[in-house]
Structure 1
Amino acid sequence: TVGTTITLTLMEGEEEYLEPARIRQLIKTYCDFMPVPIKIDGEVANKHEAPWKKSPSSLTDEDYLEFYRYLYPFQEDPLLWIHLNTDYPFVVNGILYFPKLKPDIDITKSSIKLYCNQVFVTDNCEEVVPRFLLPLRGVIDSTDIPLNVSRSFLQGDRTVRRIADYIAKKVGDSLKALYRDDPAKYIASWQDLGNFVKFGSLNDDKFKDQVKDILIFRTTAKLGDAEEAPKVEVQTDEGDAWSDVSDAAKPATDAKGNFYTTLAEYLERNKDKHENRVFYATDEVSQATYLELFKGQGLEVLFMDSFIDTHFIPSLERDYSDVKFVRVDADLDDTLLDKDKQSEIVDPTTNKTRDDEIKEMFEKAINKPRVNIKPQALKGEGAPPAMVLLPEDARRMQETMAMIQQQEMQFPEDHVLMVNTAHPMIQNLLGLSQSTIIGADGGSSPAGDLATLICNQVYDTALMAQKGFDADGMKAFVERSNTLLTKLTER
């Protein structure tokens, strides 16, 4: 037969390389996609077909998924993929997959396999792929990447840098095309895809400029509702009939029916309500009370609740220098406050207002000097009796310090207790407190004790929306709840 015979001589102690299983493993690792079949005992031991060398038009979605499952068995299917195919000014072929990300994923570790002429080289592409694309998976095949040099030389190689720029641009172009051509699929993938886009924006200015118009955020607004979008009709071919196409023009939603918006669209839509202010939430569950308050007054809130958003929000603030980002539990917009309910003077001798008396009542009851009691009247019948607020700047400072010290952020002792003076319970509580009669022994009356208990209960209930209690805090809360219920049933 025509061909070349290569004879290998093994060193002593390396007999494992004579074992068929070991040989098959080596073939699968390094020569699995070589364009010629490799046989052991008459059986082909490699696939000898590289999907990335084929034309994208010849591959189906199932072909791409099958290849991914072969490379990364027992993993969830990818969100989407990008086929690389260029031969000028350098040769690069490959298929890159966007996997579903987890919060504990190591974004500094590459999972992309590097090949040269379909021969495996390494599964570490940190010098070839832009840093923000390291979480991607798949294959890159290029004959223009020097292989017999140090890693530090690779980082400075001009061709390697150009290949990295090409890959980043190809990824950005593909994401923009998906956003334009299939917004429903783009939105459905955004929970995981968004982390790639945001991480890339933080690490590469060129990529940030490329994707800035496709950065989207989940919103509380019901976009496309009848009151927000006009009915759209088009004339049919008959010329005298009109068809409603409003549904086709409605914005796409995710599987749960949530709408998404860009930051520019949000600012334009709300410029008359709160110009250059963005309200955002980071936890839909713990901040539910605040969200309902904002939604009840028609204020739109964006969700920035992914693990990367803590770092991404400061980047947005640098790009939108005139815009102030405020978390829903940081401060209350004037739109939420009932300015018509002015606090009248109730004690002419001291000029104390009702708000002053409410403030003093809570300060005395909870006895925490570092808690700032702030009486305000909230709009809406569903507004809670009290809310705990964390000033934006102070909270961010504490988050930064916790990150630097690599510790979990502790709930700040300096915070605001906003007491809703328009709530019936607060008004009744003030009346109960004012009915207190000092006993002969200097102690307070049962009504005064009850008012103190209720004040602490209101404070702890508001606090529960912000943080969980430790063992002592939960024990005190339960005991107080039982005592309070007992006193109320005795009346």
Structure 2
Amino acid sequence: MALKQGSISIDTENIFPIIKKWLYSDKDIFIRELISNGCDAVSKHKRLVSLGETAGDDKPYKITVAVSKKNKTLSFSDNGIGMTADEIDKYINQVAFSGAEDFFNKYKDKMEESNDIIGHFGLGFYSAFMVSSNVEIDTLSFATGAKPIRWQSADGMQFEITEDGTRTERGTTIILTLAEDSEEFLDEYHLRSIIKKYCSFLPVEIYVENTDKLEEEAKKKAEEAAKKAEEGADSETSEEEPKEEIKPVPLNDTNPLWLKSPKDCTDEEYIKFYQQVFNVFDEPLFWIHLNVDYPFNLKGILYFPKLKNEFELVEGKVKLYNNQVFVADNIKEVIPEFLLLLKGVIDCPDLPLNVSRSFLQNDRDVSKISKHIVKKVADKLKSLCKNEREKYESFWDDIQVFIKYGCLKDEGFYDKIKEYILYKDLDGKYITLKDYLEYAKDKHENKVFYVVDKEQQSQYIKLFKEYDLNAVILDCTIDNNFITFLEYKESGVRFKRIDSDLSDVLKDKDEEKDEKADEEIVNFFKEKIGDRVQKYSVESLKKEDTPAVILISEESRRMMEMQSRFAGLDYGFDLKEEKTLVINDRNPLIKKVLSLRDDETKKEAVDVICNQIVDLALLANKELGAEELDLFIKRSNELMSKVISL
């Protein structure tokens, strides 16, 4: 006989939580919610035992998820606190009334910590109706003299409570009869994968049972026993040795590494945890163990994997947990976007299990948590650079993408880490920007010369080394954006690619300039080579063996690169690399050509040599185009013919 029938109460103050129910983006979330509720029920009972409010026993706490394809049911059983009929009416029938809140209010004066009681019957429980055609609760309260209670509802609105529950031990079993469109959750492999996704680290052991298989095995054993009985087998001679019972293995790790104190964890444990959680075989470069109790509760481990030199945003590598319950990947409001290049786990009990993004964006605690995580990452990098410089340099090439991307996304991070950003110089030595600027003070002031391709720019590197000049290697694709950012942050500092400008050190300052003579040289070369370059400059270089050098305007090249990244962007004009031909008027070949400019008998040869000088200068900068290369080969052959005929 039913103790009570009726409609589930929905008060005005409960409307918003019910709306929140529909914010579940994945149907499989009901598995997380029901297991979490079971875990909370166990936590409550543990706490009551510790407070002396009830007696404990020697039975291990556990949660069992049983699946039956034959009956189309999923059941979730725990041996936690259980419920009475009144508690079911209060916590289940009044949607979103928080059982955890009521429990906390009753025992708050006796509890030192309360954050571990996060669950609540109500909203989480009602996620079951997203997949079920019928839901039953079979429960027995821990309270002395309690009776087993059964609750049943087919639609989440009408319910029935009776005293014909079947439980003989405290705890709760929730039985779902799955709807036709949700029968994929009856697949045991699929079910296990969902539990591992959401509940791999819950503090209560979780087991999965296939009821159909267990029934088949029990039936088979019964048939074998009956057969032996019929045959009258002699028990003394035919009794087989009992097979060693295979103990079931829980799906979860109840004490994940992030809950331990960092001083109690070994490198081997960190590496093993990393490989297990992220299903990888490689080892991380290093890691950061977060362990904060005040002013908020935050634990976790962030791993630095080996990143490719090319910029690559990796999604879904930092997992957010709430009291060991998986919430989601990539919660950018909690975990700064640039940290998603890392792999790791963050456990933050101060965040609710289901919240809207707008709530997180406006929550002050979330902002504090995010900033704290950034600070801890910066502190770790500082410590490594200061105390383990050799190790820091050894994996700099692997982490520089992460650090530079982090600076671009968060100026505060740059301010914390800027003194520990390294740059490799032409000799392969790691230096800081401060180191380079100190060196450059007497050579080229605040200009930072850099190389993006050591092979392509080898002639310029050779020239720099001949004059004892230095440059830094910036060969990541993200470096184009990063140097622009640095110019914005560091007042007066300007980055110049090694082929975009000549240091004053290369020039002979003692040589007096004759502007009229320089103009004549420029006009002469313009006549010979046409529009192959856009600008000309005449310089007296200290080294005489270089006839000419091509410089590419830093500004025009950056605009070209921007255009290539944003293909189709209309600037209203055609962008071209602005080339400047720097003519070394101290070079013997240049002097000889200039001396022959009025000799009509040498006009053809002079034309060829002038263009050949430009070809060689262009080749030192980058490969010639197909048409230019063809003309270069013809001129080279022509020159060789003239030389051999002498």
Q: When the two structures are superposed, what TM-score results if normalisation uses the length of structure 2?
A: 0.62
Aligned pairs for 1:4-23 (under 5 A) are 4=171, 5-23=173-191
Quick one: distance in 2 between partners of 1:211 and 1:424?
Answer: 50
Is there any run of 5+ residues in structure 2 with no aligned partner, and where?
Answer: 1-58, 61-78, 80-170, 210-246
* Partner Cα distance (1:413, 1:261) in 2: 31
Distance 1:202 1:78 in 2: 24
- Matched residue of 1:286: which SS? coil
> 2:203 & 2:528 partners in 1: Cα distance?
80
Q: 1:301 aligns with which of 462, 471, 475?
A: 471
Equivalence for 2:490: 320
Mapped pair 1:270 → 2:475: no
**Equivalent position of 1:122 in the other structure:** 328
Cα distance change of structure 1 residues 463 and 40 upon mapping to structure 2, 3 Å threshold: same
Find the counterpart in structure 2 of residue 290 from structure 1: 460
Distance in 2 separating the partners of 1:387 and 1:29: 60
Q: Find the counterpart in structure 2 of residue 235 from structure 1.
A: none
Distance 1:339 1:269, change over 3 A: closer
Letter of the 2:265 partner, please give it.
L
Shift of 1:357: 5.3
- 1:53 is aligned to 259
- Counterpart CA distance in 2 for 1:77 and 1:385 is 52
| CA distance in 1: counterparts of 2:403 and 2:311, whole angstroms | 16
CA contact (8 A) 1:277 1:324 kept: yes
Residue 126 of structure 1: CA displacement?
1.3
**Of 361, 384, 407, the match for 2:546:** 384
Q: Distance in 1 between matches of 2:527 and 2:433?
A: 44
Pairwise CA distance, 1:342:
4.9
8 Å CA contact 2:556–2:577 kept in 1: the answer is no
Instruction: Tell me the secondary structure at the aligned position of residue 178 of structure 2.
Output: coil
Measure how far apart 1:52 and its partner are: 1.4
- C-alpha spacing 1:151/1:98, structure 2 compared with 1 (3 Å): same
Shift of 1:103: 5.7
Q: For residue 531 of structure 2, what is the aligned residue in structure 1?
A: 368
Match of residue 253 from structure 1: none
Q: Distance in 2 between matches of 1:213 and 1:103?
A: 21
Equivalent position to 2:607, from 429, 439, 452: 452
Q: For 1:38, which of 191, 206, 210 is the aligned residue? A: 206
Shift of 1:411: 8.0
- Asked if the contact 1:27–1:45 (Cα under 8 Å) also holds between the matched residues in 2, the reply is no
Q: Report 1:407-426 matches (<5 A).
A: 412=576, 414-426=578-590
Aligned equivalents of 1:46, 1:483: Cα separation in 2: 79
Q: 1:431 to 1:46 in 2, by over 3 A?
A: farther
Kindly provide the amino acid, as one letter, of the partner of residue 379 in structure 1: K
Shift of 1:322: 3.2
* C-alpha displacement of 1:219: 2.1
Q: Name which of structure 1's ranges 20-29 and 392-401 shifts more when overlaid on structure 2.
A: 392-401
Cα separation, partners in 2 of 1:59 and 1:490, compared to 1, 3 Å:
farther
Q: What CA distance in whole angstroms lies between the structure 1 residues aligned with 2:313 and 2:380?
A: 21
Matched, 1:148 2:148: no
1:378 maps to amino acid = L
Residues 1:331 and 2:491 aligned together: no
CA-based RMSD of the aligned residues comes to 3.0
2-side partners of 1:482 and 1:30: how far apart?
72
The 5 A counterparts of 1:217-232 are 217-220=423-426
**Aligned partner of 2:195 among 27, 35, 50:** 27
Q: Can you give the 5+ residue segments of structure 1 that lack an aligned partner in the other structure?
A: 223-257, 345-350, 438-446
Greater mean alpha carbon deviation, residues 112-121 or residues 4-13? 4-13
CA contact (8 A) 1:96 1:138 kept: yes
Look up the SS of the partner of 2:642 in the other structure: helix
Q: 1:483 to 1:68 in 2, by over 3 A?
A: farther
Matches within 5 A, 1:65-214: 65-74=271-280, 76-102=282-308, 105-107=311-313, 109-214=315-420
Does the Cα contact within 8 Å between 2:311 and 2:401 map onto a contact in 1?
A: no
Q: State the secondary structure of the residue aligned to 1:38.
A: strand
In the alignment, the residues of structure 2 paired with residue 392 and residue 275 of structure 1 have an alpha-carbon distance, to the nearest angstrom, of 17
Residues 227-283 of structure 1 show CA distances to partners (whole Å, capped at 9, x for unaligned) of: xxxxxxxxxxxxxxxxxxxxxxxxxxxxxxx21222222222332333333333333
Aligned counterparts of 1:467 and 1:262: Cα–Cα separation in 2: 29
Q: Distance in 2 between the 1:143 and 1:330 partners?
A: 54
SS at match of 1:469: coil
- Look up the SS of the partner of 1:272 in the other structure: coil
Find the counterpart in structure 1 of residue 158 from structure 2. none
User: Conserved in 2, the CA contact under 8 Å of 1:402 and 1:408?
Assistant: no
User: Which residue pairs with 1:252 in the alignment?
Assistant: none
Computing the radius of gyration from Cα coordinates, the structure with the larger value is 2
Q: Which amino acid in structure 1 is aligned with residue 502 of structure 2?
A: L
Conserved? CA contact 1:375–1:421, under 8 Å: yes
Offset at residue 131 of structure 1 (A): 2.5
Question: 1:135 offset after TM fit, Å?
Answer: 1.3
